[in-house]
Amino acid sequence: MNKFALLLVFISFLAPAKITLPHLFSDHMVLQQNSTVRIWGTADPNEPVALTTGWDKKTYTTKGDSYAKWSLEIKTPSYGGPYTLTLKGYNTIEINDVMVGEVWIGSGQSNMEMTPAWGIENGPEEIAQAHAPHIRFFKLEKSTAPSPQISAQSAWQSVTPEVMKNNSALGYFFSQRLSKELQGVPVGFIVSAWGGSPAEVWIPEEEFSENKLAQSELEKLETSDAWPSKAGAAYNAMVHPLLPYGFHGVLWYQGESNTGSQSYDNTLETLIRSWRKQAGREFPFYVVQIAPYNYGAQYDGGARIRDAQRRILSVAHTGMVVTSDLSTTDDIHPKQKKQLGERLADLVLSKRFARLDLVAEGPLLKEAVVRGRKMVLSFHNSQGMYVKGGTRSPLFELAGEDGVFHPAQGVVRNGTIEVYSNAVKIPQRVRYAWKNTDQADIFNSAGIPMSTFTTEY
């Protein structure tokens, strides 16, 4: 090496490093309103870092630590913008067109990923009307990693017809309705989804060593060139970098790739708890129940997933929307993404913003009591409950002590449902809409269908 080259190397060691930020912190970003949010990045050890907020001109300061990392927690106002965030270290970074509003993560498999370009109901008309600069997308690139990452590849985009066309349809319609009902609050929607992916790849690998039931399901996964199949592979690259960010909650649409699982409720609960543990808070987690679909010879795989998703509602701060009236049984990707997005938004409006005028969930089993030869069922969210197209539902089944289920009839009476079958003298168990292709025929006054359920286990 000549003297000139040595001089350049020496100078490079003396030159201060630049402060850097993950891609989440960039122009057009959305920060969660009325909150304390974290902003982080890298800097030289002991490098002073100052962040000034555009809404109140307050400056927050810290220094790079011995690992060349830094983080700050800043307070956000009620919704508004655009604002500028200014960071100063040995260099200066300005983040422009920053909005403050509602921030949500949408994760799962293809039904969350599905864009209007795939083909949705009234797609061309909806795309043409999608001029919504107050709605922003951050869509992660599909990637895997062997260990948890600190940054995810993407960029914030304001919604135009072209941006909407190539982003999550469900995410757009959710954001559109939420913003409209909140009178113009900006919405940031982070898309972290991978078509075909099983739930296990979205769970940190270390969780499986402590959960033998989840481990047994993991071992059954088939490998694919189209999506990951290793525990934690998608989590490391596409979830871990998001969890410190100040989002309000998660919307989850996944399960089709786990049909056949006998314990999906355990797997999904493990996922929820692991994400919350890493984030350090119990954020809301709302599930879209998978739609009825003909999975072939597998008799009840889809029904078991639908019921497992219902069972997850015992976990705090969860909710679920039902899809069985918005699909055909020959299409695993329901085209009515606008209706689904609006149901999710109504769920958020009901639970987060206490909109008591909204019934956002369908009838959910509360109690099953044996009365003679009948099983009498009571429900949550049962206001105005009725059988669509008749007075009796044929989608019930009853079983006696032998555990064999027989076709049964369900009749709505005074907000309860009486279920009976001539083949069962003393009912012990009941289930509803238990075939993979069963579409609910019982609704409440809000027009939301009843969930598949069983008292079998």
Domain parsing of the chain, residue ranges: 16-98, 101-351, 364-454
Percentage of the residues of the chain whose pLDDT score is greater than 90: 91
Q: What is the pLDDT of residues 52-69, one digit of tens each?
A: 999 999 999 999 999 999
pLDDT(259) > 70? yes
| 3 or 46, greater pLDDT | 46
Q: What is the pLDDT of residues 420-434, one digit of tens each?
A: 999 999 999 999 999
- With a CB cutoff of 8 Å and minimum separation 6, the contacts of 24 are 138, 151, 152, 241, 242, 245
pLDDT(270) > 60? yes
**CB of 50 within 8 A of CB of 61?**
yes
Strands (E), 80-165: 80-88, 92-108, 132-139, 156-159
- 3-state secondary structure at position 229: coil
For the chain, give the longest Cα–Cα distance: 98
Between CA 268 and CA 299 the distance in angstroms is: 22
pLDDT of amino acid 16: 62
**CB of 187 within 8 A of CB of 179?**
yes
Beta strand 30-32 with 453-454: parallel, antiparallel or unpaired? Answer: unpaired
pLDDT(27) > 90? yes
pLDDT of amino acid 233: 98
In the numeric block, the tokens 């009839």 are attached to 409
Q: What is the pLDDT of residues 273-326, one digit of tens each?
A: 999 999 999 999 999 999 999 997 667 999 999 999 999 999 999 999 999 999
Q: What is the pLDDT of residues 207-225, one digit of tens each?
A: 999 899 999 999 999 899 9
Question: Quick one: average pLDDT of 5-13?
Answer: 40
pLDDT of amino acid 17: 74
Q: What is the pLDDT of residues 369-382, one digit of tens each?
A: 999 999 999 999 99
Q: In terms of C-beta distances under 8 Å and separation of at least 24 residues, what long-range contacts does 21-25 make, across chains too?
A: 21/87, 21/93, 21/95, 22/150, 22/151, 22/152, 22/241, 23/151, 23/152, 23/153, 23/154, 23/155, 24/138, 24/151, 24/152, 24/241, 24/242, 24/245, 25/85, 25/95
Alpha-carbon distances of 2 from 6, 14, 16, 138, rounded to whole Å = 6, 19, 24, 47
| 3 or 33, greater pLDDT | 33
Between CA 232 and CA 203 the distance in angstroms is: 5
pLDDT(19) > 50? yes
Fold classified for 101-351? Rossmann fold (3.40.50)
Question: Quick one: average pLDDT of 68-74?
Answer: 97
Question: Quick one: average pLDDT of 248-260?
Answer: 97
pLDDT of amino acid 435: 95
pLDDT(7) > 60? no
Q: Which CATH architecture has domain 16-98?
A: Sandwich (2.60)
pLDDT(193) > 70? yes
Rounded to two decimals, the pTM is: 0.94
Q: What is the pLDDT of residues 156-179, one digit of tens each?
A: 999 999 999 999 999 999 999 999
End-to-end CA distance of the chain: 73
Instruction: Using alpha carbons, select from 28, 123, 150, 46 the residue that is nearest to residue 90.
Output: 46
For the chain, the average pLDDT equals: 94
Question: Which tokens is 12 given?
Answer: 């490079």
- Using the Cα atoms of residue 325, residue 354, residue 255 and residue 311 in order, give the sign of their dihedral: negative
Q: Using only the alpha carbons of the chain, give its radius of gyration.
A: 25
Q: What is the pLDDT of residues 116-163, one digit of tens each?
A: 999 999 999 999 999 999 999 999 999 999 999 999 989 999 999 999
